[in-house]
Amino acid sequence: MPRLVLYTFGVLKSPLADPAPLTREFYDRGEAVYRQIGRHPGYLARAEAADGDRGVLFGADWGPWGEFAVPAWYGKGRTADTTALAATLSLWTGPRAAFDAVYTGPHREALNRRYDWFERSDHPNHVIWWVSDDVTPAWQDGVSRLEHLHAHGPAPHAFTFRHAFTPEGTPTRTDGTGHDH
């Protein structure tokens, strides 16, 4: 049975190592959001670094999720002291489950505050695609598909909740989406 992959990417206003209250708030809220999403119906797994210290993304051991990668447009730091981004890579049973997890509850509340933490961008902040049940997507897959989405728009191999496709490549829509985030 096909599974849905969700890759998200955003550039933070300040590095993850910044001790300022807004950065601490982002971390604290993020940890609560991850706990909630991990219990959401339809959630299967997410990329987690085996040796992940706070703010260490580049060079961490991501196991089957591959080496950490970022889109070409990310121009900030890559060390534990300078990295200024948030990225997720997760597996879901389908778009409805992922959409509900993202746009309800604690994650919805966090999205309402996203411009307190993240820079505004003309680049998409998420991309979704289907994989077979024996595939673990890699970070580079998410980056490539996000860059493709930005350059060419939604397609069966790189799409959004609003402009979604079935596993067979037929256009569809995740009911309830009035916007594309």
pLDDT of residue 180: 38
- What does the pLDDT look like over 27-48, one tens digit per residue? 888 888 989 999 999 999 999 9
For the ranges 19-28, 32-41, 125-134, which has the lowest average pLDDT? 19-28
- What does the pLDDT look like over 47-103, one tens digit per residue? 999 876 666 899 999 999 999 999 999 999 999 899 999 999 999 999 999 999 999
Residue 7 pLDDT class (50, 70, 90 cuts): very high
Give the Cα separation of 93 and 7 in Å (integer): 14
Give the Cα separation of 58 and 96 in Å (integer): 31
- In this predicted structure, the answer to whether residue 175 has a pLDDT above a threshold of 60 is no
Give the Cα separation of 98 and 115 in Å (integer): 22
**In the predicted model, what is the mean pLDDT of the chain?**
92
Which tokens sit at 104?
A: 């309800």
**Residues linked to residue 3 through DSSP beta bridges, in sequence order:** 131
Model's pTM, two decimal places? 0.93
Q: What is the mean pLDDT of residues 138-150?
A: 98
